[in-house]
Structure 1
Amino acid sequence: MGIEVNNIGKRFGDFVALDDVSLNFPQGELTALLGPSGCGKTTLLRIIAGLEPPDSGQVFLDGEDASSHHVRERQVGFVFQHYALFKHMSVFDNIAFGLRVKPRKQRPSEAQIRRKVMSLLELVQLDWLAERYPPQLSGGQRQRIALARALAVEPRVLLLDEPFGALDAKVRKELRRWLRNLHDELHVTSIFVTHDQEEALEVADRIVLMNKGKVAQVGAPDEVYNHPASPFVYGFLGNVNLFHGRVHEGALEAGGIVLDAPDHADARDVQGTGFVRPHDIEVRRYTKEAPGEAGIAARLRRAHAIGPLAQLELERADNAQLIEAVMSAERYAQLGLTEGETLLVRPKRLRVFINEASEGERA
């Protein structure tokens, strides 16, 4: 089932949680709502579920206006961060609960419920825990049971609010992989809320990046990561280095070097910022003979070379700004770098954005 929200607005007092948000969630896709705390992602999820009424706008489920439908009529499965399992019920009874409270005419027989629950327990690979109680389970097991309970009522839509947020990093990574595999098997239209960039990039078919109640960008994970639409998106999706300078006729002059900015061939002497990922920083030895345009002099403050990658923290000689660089551990060993020495750094690839004040001046 496809989901569409049109012109959704929501305020809490003076706080604007959602500001005229319109989105389409294609049938069978797993979409991540990603953004910082307070950006409106959980509020949007609750409005889709029917748990929160919008101040304005409409929610369409399969092309039908569901804005006035009660949460029970929307056939939505909801999984919260903190499991929300009934502690006094066994795992089996927790999953069966939604089926047993259906109206009498829609309620399956106990034999049908047993078959359904056991098949779901097999699906989440926990059939051996049917008679246990939630306090006897690990956090990861409880979250998988919560997901099985949401799936028991055969929802048209599955909504997950920070489903792995309360778990430790190792378990969270395992469950991310498991959720992706489960979705590939079931193809239930799913939306999950997260503030974890790595989680969204790894699991989702599509990412909706939100900021201050608005949609900042929508796209496939590789699209939003490699082609961010704004400085906010660039900065939110992973580590980034900033190079401030003057943009003029397709070039950014920053810190004594000139960098290509082909997207701004028409710019005339305006202020801009170059955004560069750490793995796009070239690092080499500094020699006095090298021309000034060859790179920016920076002192290697710290190097962390455990595993396949070496992470370098460098301090610019001209303004003490920190620069992060990443290279292979093999390359780091070949260079034989030592902490405290001066190196030359140069962006290999960057994206330049004209500063907002300069945009106003141009207008």
Structure 2
Amino acid sequence: MGIAVNNINKKFGQFTALNNVSLDFPTGELTALLGPSGCGKTTLLRIIAGLEGQDSGQVLLDGEDASSRHVRERQVGFVFQHYALFKHMTVFENIAFGLRVKPRASRPSESVIREKVTELLELVQLDWLADRFPPQLSGGQRQRIALARALAVEPRVLLLDEPFGALDAKVRKELRRWLRRLHDELHVTSIFVTHDQEEALEVADQIVLMNKGNVEQTGSPQEVYEHPTSPFVYGFLGNVNLFHGRVHQGVLDTGGMRLDVPGHAEAEDVAGIGYVRPHDLDIERYAKGAEGIVVQLIRAHAIGPLAQLELARDDNAELIEAVISAERFKQLDLKEGETLVVRPRRLHVFVDQPSHHNQDAR
């Protein structure tokens, strides 16, 4: 089912939760609503579900305005962070619940219900737990049962609100992979809310980045990571180093270094900030006359395939974080306290003048 929202506005008192939000959620795809706490992502999900009313705007389900449709008529399946399973019912009964409470005319027979629940338990790989009660299950198992229960009523759209938020890191990672595989089998149009960028980048077909009630950027995981359209998106999707300086006729001057930024050839002495990911920095020992930013190695953390380096600049600006391969780190034989030079291999510059396009520099 295709879902779209047009010009959705929502206020809670003086607080603007959603500011004229319009979005398309592609049929059969998994879309992540990503952003910090309070950015409006859960409010938007609840409005699509019909659990919350918008002040203005439309929710379209398959092109039809569903704004006045009751939750039950929207054919939506939900999974929340706190799996609200019925503790006094077995896993089997929990999954069957949605089917058993259907109006008599559309309620399946007991044998069909049994068949369907068994099929769903196999789908979520927990058929061996059918007779257990929720308190006897682990958090990850409970969340998979909550998903099976949501799927039992054959929803046309599946909404997940921080579905793995209450679980520990290892279980979250397992469930993320499992959710992606499950989605590839079922192709039910799904929207999930998360504040975890790694989760969104790993699982989603499309990412909608939200900030303060507005949509900052929409695109595939690769698009939003590699071509962020605003400083907020750049900073939210992973660690980043900031190099403040002035941009003049295609050059960013940071005081310690001049960098070509061809996308800003027209800029005339304006403030600009270069954004550089830790793995896009080249590092070498300091030699007189070397080009780049002179830094001191404060701390090195080299466990596993990568070495993370904390570097202090001479001008007391904020610390720079660099990531190099453990192999390269060994090769350089770096010691804490040594003087090094860093140079960005790839940076993305945003200038203070909105009329100029913000572009990558290589």
TM-score if structure 1 supplies the norm length?
Answer: 0.97
Within the alignment, does 1:347 sit opposite 2:359 as a pair?
A: no
* Equivalent residue letter for 1:352: V
Q: Deviations over 1:276-310 (max 9, x none)?
A: 0000011100012x24xx11110100011000000
Counterpart for residue 32 of structure 2: 32
- Corresponding position of 2:69: 69
Give per-residue Cα distances to partners, 1:238-257, cap 9 Å, x unaligned. Answer: 00000000001111001321
Tell me how far 1:359 sits from its aligned partner: 4.6
The reply to whether residue 281 of structure 1 matches residue 278 of structure 2 is: no
Specify the code of the residue in structure 2 equivalent to 1:316.
R
Deviations 1:128-163 (A, max 9, x none): 000000000000000000000000000000000000
What SS does the aligned partner of 2:39 have?
A: coil
State how far apart, in whole Å, the 1-side matches of 2:214 and 2:347 are: 26
Whether the 8 Å CA contact 1:255–1:318 is kept in 2: the answer is no
Instruction: Within 5 Å, give how 1:173-184 maps onto structure 2.
Output: 173-184=173-184
What's 2:360 paired with? none
CA distance in 1, matches of 2:133, 2:344: 55
1:224-244 deviation per Cα after TM superposition (whole angstroms, max 9, x unaligned): 000000000000000000000
Per-residue displacement from partner, 1:51-74 (whole Å, max 9, x unpaired)?
000000000001111000000000
Equivalent pair of 2:78/2:150 in contact (CA under 8 Å): yes
Corresponding residue number in structure 2 for 1:16? 16
* Unmatched runs of 5 consecutive residues or more in structure 1: none
Give TM-score, length-normalised by structure 2.
0.97
- The Cα shift of 1:321 comes to 2.2
Q: Write out the 4+ residue segments of structure 1 that deviate beyond 3 Å after TM superposition.
A: 358-361
Aligned twin of 1:51: 51
CA RMSD of aligned residues (A): 1.0
Contact 1:34 1:197 (8 Å CA) reproduced:
yes
In structure 2, C-alpha distance between the alignment counterparts of 1:67 and 1:347, rounded to whole Å: 49
Distance 1:146 1:260 in 2: 53
Q: Could you say which residue in structure 2 is the equivalent of 1:127? A: 127
Q: Per the alignment, in what secondary structure is the counterpart of residue 175 of structure 1?
A: helix
Give the corresponding residue for 1:324. 321
Match of 1:185 in 2: 185
**Counterpart position of 1:314:** 311
Residue 167 of structure 1 corresponds to: 167
Matches for 1:217-256 after TM superposition, within 5 Å: 217-256=217-256
CA distance in 1, matches of 2:17, 2:217: 17
Q: Structure 1 residue 318: deviation in Å? A: 1.7
* Contact persistence 1:4–1:61 (CA under 8 A): yes
Q: How far 1:319 moved relative to its partner?
A: 2.2
The one of 312, 332, 337 equivalent to 2:334 is: 337
Inter-partner Cα distance in structure 2 for 1:251 and 1:99: 64
1:112 match: secondary structure: helix
- Counterpart AA for 1:220: S
Contact 1:208 1:217 in 2 (8 A): yes
SS in 2 for 1:88: coil
Quote the Cα distance in structure 2 between the aligned partners of 1:156 and 1:36: 28
Measured in 1, the distance between the counterparts of 2:84 and 2:259 equals: 53
Matches within 5 A, 1:95-134: 95-134=95-134
Aligned partners of 1:244 and 1:272 also within 8 Å: yes
Q: Report the residue type matching 1:79 in the other structure.
A: V
Q: For the residues of structure 2 that align with 1:255 and 1:103, how far apart are their CA atoms?
A: 72
Q: 1:202 maps to what in 2?
A: 202
Conservation of the 8 A alpha-carbon contact between 2:256 and 2:294: no
| Residue aligning to 1:136 | 136
Distance in 2 separating the partners of 1:131 and 1:347: 58
8 Å contact 2:311–2:319 — kept in the other structure? yes
Q: Distance between the aligned counterparts of 1:360 and 1:249, measured in 2?
A: 15
CA distance in 1, matches of 2:112, 2:317: 68
How much does 1:320 deviate? 4.1
Structure 2 gaps of 5+ residues are: 357-362
Contact between 1:297 and 1:316, CA under 8 Å: does it hold in 2?
Answer: yes
The 3-state SS of whatever aligns with 2:105 is coil
